[in-house]
């Protein structure tokens, strides 16, 4: 029996900032953003989209009534959750009308949360092979206006439906992980913007990658030659490339070229969306699967997850026969095309508004025609969500 990713859904809000325009406004050479950091646009969530509504929108795209009936585990990985106690997954579970006979929870460990959810779901499905699990990574990345992290913000959610005998990617059972208490990125309880030691987070990401990749090689005997592609958590698209370059010398010249070509395909969506924290690795996977015409069923993909603080994990999976039938690349092309560009002044105004608490009684309207669910405001201190019928 195999366990793995049966379907992948993605949602990003319908507004973005052009990073060349942002660079010019900040008096920075645009090439630093587009080449040095490797980002072209960043998604901006309106007030009416938060991690709950974005997560529900990502999952609604992929779930059939049969899938919903089989789901008995729902996990939301997020580091920008909307409640200090209650799991946002419970609201998503209600919005999607999933069975009450499900276990529903939220996991936090920076950008690693969705991977923790995926590994939990894998073990759960090994014991309950007839069930399905919904794992969502949903986040709004906020560093602050005019900070060095500003260019690496973004917003969006990825939903993974996991099952036995999956249609897209069967996960290999081994996994390698490494954890250490470090202060490379954190967000104090009273802040909506993150604190980061950018250079330290970059070196930690690479060092942790080398550790888990080496350990995985020792555990499984798999070498770089065994992977068609390696997908990375992408806080910005240059980041994964830095890590890939650490191990490339282990491979033949031909394999090195191949891995770098596949890497370009996995970065296409992140370049347009920015950092979505917990969902970023899985957005890279979706971008690779939707855009890469060289990949074939049976090929092995490596996955590197990193959550600051910090936990890293390396694991892998094999592409399943006919996996392309379970993907919808045209939908995502249209999703990106339909987005609206914000002026820098509008983006700054929205950013500042989002740092303020929602006023009691303030009613929010949906602003995104591609959204099925949105956050409608707060009544009696309870967050309200609505579905567009």
**Taking the complex as a whole, how short is the minimal distance between the CB of residue 80 and ligand COA, in angstroms?**
14
Task: Examine the residue annotation and report whether 207 is marked as an active-site residue of this protein.
Answer: no
Q: Pseudo-torsion of CA 366, 367, 372, 377, nearest 10°?
A: -30
What are 284's two structure tokens? 């890279």
Task: Examine the residue annotation and report whether 111 is marked as an active-site residue of this protein.
Answer: yes
> Cβ of 323: how many Cβ atoms within 10 Å?
21
Give the interface segment with ligand COA, choosing from 33-41, 58-66, 71-79, 95-103 (CB under 6 A).
33-41
Which of residues 202 and 217 has its CB atom nearest to ligand COA in the complex?
Answer: 202
Which of residues 236 and 282 has its CB atom nearest to ligand COA in the complex?
Answer: 236
List the catalytic residue out of 111, 150, 167, 313: 111
Site mask, ligand COA, residues 236-265, x = CB under 6 A?
x--x--------------------------
The correct pick among 29, 83, 225, 365 for binding ligand COA (CB under 6 A) is 29
Q: Is 140 in the site for ligand COA (CB under 6 A)?
A: no
Between residue 59 and residue 118, which ones bind ligand COA under the rule CB under 6 A? none
> Cβ of 357: how many Cβ atoms within 10 Å?
8
> Cβ of 65: how many Cβ atoms within 10 Å?
8
List the catalytic residue out of 93, 124, 167, 233: 233
**Taking the complex as a whole, how short is the minimal distance between the CB of residue 73 and ligand COA, in angstroms?**
27
Q: Is 311 in the site for ligand COA (CB under 6 A)?
A: no
How many C-alpha atoms does 193 have within 13 Å on its Cβ side? 18
Q: Pseudo-torsion of CA 27, 31, 34, 37, nearest 10°?
A: -90
Q: Is 202 in the site for ligand COA (CB under 6 A)?
A: yes
Q: Which residues contact 34 (CB under 8 A, 6 or more apart)?
A: 19, 20, 40
Taking CA atoms, 347 is separated from 83, 92, 145, 308, in Å, by 25, 27, 10, 27
Task: Examine the residue annotation and report whether 334 is marked as an active-site residue of this protein.
Answer: no
Residues paired with 17 in a beta bridge: 42
Nearest to 196 by CA among 139, 245, 235: 235
Pairwise CA distance, residues 269 & 283, whole Å: 7
Planar angle of CA 366, 94, 112, nearest 5 degrees: 85
The correct pick among 26, 82, 198, 251 for binding ligand COA (CB under 6 A) is 198
Q: Is 235 in the site for ligand COA (CB under 6 A)?
A: yes
Which of residues 88 and 154 has its CB atom nearest to ligand COA in the complex?
Answer: 154
Between residue 322 and residue 341, which ones bind ligand COA under the rule CB under 6 A? none
**Taking the complex as a whole, how short is the minimal distance between the CB of residue 225 and ligand COA, in angstroms?**
27
- Which residue number places its CB atom closest to ligand COA? 36
Active site residues: 79, 111, 233
Q: Binding residues for ligand COA, per CB under 6 A? A: 29, 31-32, 35-37, 148-149, 151-152, 196, 198-199, 201-202, 205, 235-236, 239, 306, 308
């Amino acid at each position: 029996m195999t366990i793995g990713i049966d379907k992948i859904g993605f949602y990003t809000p319908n507004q973005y900032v052009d990073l060349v325009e942002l660079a010019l406004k900040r008096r920075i050479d645009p090439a630093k953003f587009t080449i040095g950091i490797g980002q072209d646009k960043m998604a901006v969530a309106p007030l009416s989209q938060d991690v709950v509504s974005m997560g529900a929108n990502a999952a609604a795209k992929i779930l059939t009534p049969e899938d919903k009936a089989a789901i008995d585990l729902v996990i939301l990985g997020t580091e920008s959750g909307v409640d200090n106690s209650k799991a946002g997954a419970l609201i998503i579970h209600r919005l999607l009308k999933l069975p009450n006979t499900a276990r529903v929870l939220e996991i936090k460990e920076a950008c690693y949360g969705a991977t923790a959810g995926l590994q939990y779901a894998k073990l759960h499905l090994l014991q309950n092979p007839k069930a399905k699990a919904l794992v969502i990574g949903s986040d709004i990345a906020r560093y602050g206006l005019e900070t060095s992290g500003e260019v690496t913000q973004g917003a969006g959610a990825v939903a993974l439906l996991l099952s036995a005998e999956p249609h897209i990617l069967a996960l290999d059972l081994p996994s390698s992980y490494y954890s250490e208490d470090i202060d490379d990125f954190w967000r104090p309880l009273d802040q909506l913007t993150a604190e980061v030691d950018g250079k330290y987070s970059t070196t930690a990401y690479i060092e942790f990658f080398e550790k888990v990749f080496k350990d995985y090689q020792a555990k499984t005997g798999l070498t770089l030659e065994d992977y068609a592609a390696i997908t990375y958590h992408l806080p910005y698209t240059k980041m994964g490339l830095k890590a890939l370059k650490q191990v490339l010398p282990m491979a033949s010249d031909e394999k090195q070229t191949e891995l770098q070509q596949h890497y370009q395909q996995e970065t296409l969506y992140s370049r347009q969306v920015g950092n979505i924290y917990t969902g970023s690795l899985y957005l890279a996977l979706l971008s690779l699967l939707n855009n890469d015409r060289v990949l074939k069923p049976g090929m092995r993909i490596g996955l590197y997850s990193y959550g600051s603080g910090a936990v890293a994990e390396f694991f892998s999976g094999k592409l399943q026969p006919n996996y392309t039938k379970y993907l919808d690349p045209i939908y995502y092309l249209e999703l990106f095309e339909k987005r609206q560009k914000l002026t820098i002044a509008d983006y700054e105004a929205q950013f500042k508004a989002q740092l303020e608490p929602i006023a009691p009684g303030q009613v929010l309207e949906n602003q995104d025609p591609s959204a099925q669910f949105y956050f409608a405001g707060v009544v009696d201190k309870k967050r309200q969500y609505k579905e567009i019928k």
